[in-house]
Structure 1
Amino acid sequence: MKRVILIVLDSVGMGELPDAGKYGDTGSNTLGNIAERIKGFSLPELEKLGLGNIDGMKGIKKSDKAEGCYGRMAEQSAGKDTTTGHWEIAGLILKKPFPVYPEGFPADIIERFEKAIGTKIIGNVAASGTEIIKQLGREHVRTGYPIVYTSADSVFQIAAHEEVIPVEKLYEMCAKAREIMSGEHAVGRVIARPFAGEEGNYKRTDRRRDFSLSPFDKTILDYVSEAGYEVKAVGKIEDIFNKQGITEAVHTHDNMDGVDRTLSYMEKDFEGMIFTNLVDFDMLFGHRNDVEGYARALKEFDRRVPEILDRLKEDDMLIITADHGCDPTTESTDHSREYVPLLVYGKKLKQNVNLGTRGTFADISATIAEFFGIKSTGNGTSFYNSIA
């Protein structure tokens, strides 16, 4: 019984890529800078797997004999957003980045959206999600107009108080925005950002929902499911791939719920893969430049690693990685163009193997294809023979 458990620690990058300067990310090193900033910082369980042994890793203790295989991956696609990173992990490489709107969306786009939803909007700026509801929350509650905003990423985001615009209505607005944001304006994601609370204490709720583009070609998820295996998605994976190639999915409230759901799937007898995204690192801490919170979240996940290892069956392969960076120690509140860590473990796999620097995230999809003996996307180079 073969299974892959693929866990993406959203935004846990480990140092700037050679082209980081083109993206304004010189000096970014999400994991390394956090380790240097927080006194006594350590991730003992991930260190046992070889996290500190990865080439270029900063601030993480090395293991004399790592129990896992380890390396780092460079992003080949143009961009540094969630969709791009996950699609590349699944074997698709974007030659052209998704469009971004640092000055807000064009007037004709906003006019079409307002006509579609039957009301005016407020905002239409690039802003932090937590700041925009502080700035415009009162006006939103007074007028009932949804807040539209974007960021340095390719996103069209709509924020609304749950008592002003019910969540299901917000989802309908997002679906209409998704139809409009196509062609040259095909952003990676339209995101529903519901919030609650009183003025001065507005807080985003956990009923966020992403409306992503469908992948432009088959991913490893399609090839796994078409071969008769199951593909179980945990967290926002279902949204990122617009359900394509996924046989079962569950959404989560936070990182620890994501771990719990992953463990629950691991207890079941099935062949295929579990694909998990743990978003809190990025959403709650990276984008808010909360160094201490990010460090706590990393330690919290690290403490759960033994449970994950204990649930592994004899032929399982565990892969832990990330999709981009989001360094909370820099001035920027946006994603950063970074290498991402790669940890691989299995009871029948080799230990203490340095997988080096991989030229693309798609090496994961190529490895999964070889692991199952199925067709791949044609991108990436499998490292399975190095660890089997």
Structure 2
Amino acid sequence: MTPSFLTALFTGRSRRPAFPSAWLRAFRPAPLNVSRGERLRVVCGAAVGIFVTGSLSHLLGANSALPWLIAPMGASAVLVFGVPASPMAQPWAVVAGNTVSALAGIACAHLVAPPELAATAAVGLAVALMFALRCLHPPGGASALLVALAGVTDPGFALFPVAGNSLLMVLAGIAYNNLGGRSYPHAQLPPEPAPPRPDDARTIAADLDAVLARYNQVLDVSRDDLQALIEQTQLQGYRRRLADIRCRDIMSTDVITVEFGTPLEEAWALLRERRIKALPVVDRVRRIVGIVTLADFMRCAELDRHEGFDRKLRALIRKSGLTHTTKPEVVGQIMTRQVRVTSEDRHLSDLAPLFGSTGHHHIPVIGEGERLVGIITQSDMVAALCRAGETAA
């Protein structure tokens, strides 16, 4: 979709380019963002579609005086194999669109004498019928024009070769596209209002319906595909913004730390007063040597059972006053020594798996000389994700 298309779609009007240079640039074709492999798939598909349709039609119509293959099938092949997701390339559009258009051409050839008027009436009637039957198919206009100019008056022509060719083309498209990884037929109806969706998705759907109603033009893309493109574009923007965020952008820099010899009572008081769940343990030059968490206190106090919870915890953090004891007295005796750290320049997206799957709740951030410069918590991570999402929206 080009920028001018998006402008018209979301404003409800076409933007008129400045005359004459910008207006002339509107005639330049837009680049096709299609890989060589996809182009080869389309080329081979169109060739296969014409070969299958022509060969079988030739066999079926060997004893018929009518032609066995009509020219509009070439245009139908482009749609069926080139844009199989288009509403105009779906089986109903191909078969019904070509057939009713041929019938329109036959009727006009019967009723209208001058060929110019017959051709005009045939194409106009064909388009009206295709709109009414929801089978708009551009090659249908060619079918109507071909029949009217050729003066065909036999209604059987609409069944063979027109309907027969169209049906064979659709069958070839179903087989080839699905074998090539392209869904065909492609669902065109909006999903049934069933399970609730996230608020953002419901908002996008409602806004899109309102914009399409205001745009009031036929689009060569289904409504659901258009919504999927919009949602994927938002997701891509979200990922890009998330990739630009580094640890230093969201980390907390006022980190409360303790040292190896900090008494347990003092460390516990810090955890309670500051309402935090972890304390990095550093040496004199602020290098990480461990981390002490609420879980470490619970583990060492043997709080796996609720009986005597307060008594066990007080016994752990209370100083024994002895010079030799088996009871832990300082942070270094209960801390976790294997600490997962990250650098301040690391991208935030790299940390998501650590918080999501490894059970980490706090990750210290180190800077120059491997010294502690901050800490990132799950709350910091969630806040950053929310901000990135709001920016992308």
TM > 0.5: no
Considering fraction of residues, name the structure with more helix: 2
Considering fraction of residues, name the structure with more strand: 1
**TM-score where L is the length of structure 2:** 0.25
Higher RCO structure, 1 or 2 (CA under 8 Å, sep 6+): 1
**TM-score where L is the length of structure 1:** 0.25
The structure that has the greater radius of gyration is 2
